[in-house]
C-alpha cells in the first residue's frame, strides 16, 4: 500500500476503506451501481480502477442538503421530497468528485469517470447500504460521507475494485 492517503472501494463487498499510511481510518458499507461495474458512458455502472478526488463539493452545507448538478438546491432532504419524486437519485450532504487516471479505461473518451459525473456522495439515511443500488456513484450514509469529506484532501487516490 502506498504511503499517504488511499480510499479502496470494493464493489463485491460494497465496502469503502480509507487508509492513512498503514492505518485504517474508516471501514464502512457503501452502495455502488445496481447495474454492476463498468466504465462506458451511459451505462450507469460503477467504474473500476485508479482514480483520485478531483473536487470536494458542499463544505459548510447543512446535513441532508440536496445537490443537483453539483450545486446545492437550497432544499433539505425530507420524506416529503422523496414522496414527491420517488425515483429521483438523491445526492445529499457532500460530494467527492472522482477523476480516472487510466486513459482508455476510466479517463478520456467514452469511459471518462469525471465526464460521467461519478461521485462518492451522501444519500437518504433509509437507503440500504451493502446492496448495489446507485446509478453509478458510490453512495454513503450522510454521517460517513461527512466524516470522509473532512478527513480527505483533493488529490487523494481512490482505487475501485471488482
Report the CATH number that the domain containing residue 68 is assigned in CATH: 2.40.440.10
Contacts of residue 122, Cβ cutoff 8 Å, sequence gap at least 6: 64, 91, 92, 93, 94, 139, 140, 141, 142, 144, 145, 146
DSSP 74: E
Q: Is the pLDDT of residue 1 over 50?
A: no
Choice between 151 and 87, residue whose per-residue pLDDT is larger: 151
What's the domain range around 71? 5-161
Residue 2 has pLDDT above 60, yes or no: no
Query: Could you give the number of structural domains in the chain?
Result: 1
User: In this predicted structure, what is the pLDDT of residue 3?
Assistant: 62
140 vs 109: CA distance, rounded Å: 28
92 or 2: which carries more pLDDT confidence? 92
Can you give the pLDDT at residue 74? 96
φ, ψ dihedrals at 136, nearest 5°: 130, -30
- Rounded to whole angstroms, the Cα distance separating 49 from 119 reads 14
Model-level pTM? 0.95
Helix extents (H) in 24-154 = 79-84, 142-151
Mean predicted lDDT score pLDDT of the chain = 96
118, pLDDT greater than 60:
yes
Amino acid at each position: 500500500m502506498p504511503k499517504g492517503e488511499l480510499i479502496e472501494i470494493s464493489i463485491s463487498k460494497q465496502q469503502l476503506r480509507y487508509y492513512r499510511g498503514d492505518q485504517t481510518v474508516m471501514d464502512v458499507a457503501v452502495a455502488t451501481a445496481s447495474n454492476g461495474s463498468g466504465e462506458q458512458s451511459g451505462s450507469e455502472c460503477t467504474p473500476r480502477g485508479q482514480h483520485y478526488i478531483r473536487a470536494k463539493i458542499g463544505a459548510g452545507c447543512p446535513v441532508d442538503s440536496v445537490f443537483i448538478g453539483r450545486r446545492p438546491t437550497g432544499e433539505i432532504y425530507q420524506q416529503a421530497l422523496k414522496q414527491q419524486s420517488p425515483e429521483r437519485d438523491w445526492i445529499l450532504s457532500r460530494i467527492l468528485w472522482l477523476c480516472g487516471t487510466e486513459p482508455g479505461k476510466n479517463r478520456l473518451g467514452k469511459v471518462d469517470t469525471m465526464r460521467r459525473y461519478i461521485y462518492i456522495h451522501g444519500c437518504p439515511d433509509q437507503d440500504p447500504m451493502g446492496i448495489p443500488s446507485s446509478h453509478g456513484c458510490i453512495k454513503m450514509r450522510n454521517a460517513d460521507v461527512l466524516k470522509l469529506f473532512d478527513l480527505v484532501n483533493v488529490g487523494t487516490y481512490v482505487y475501485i475494485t471488482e
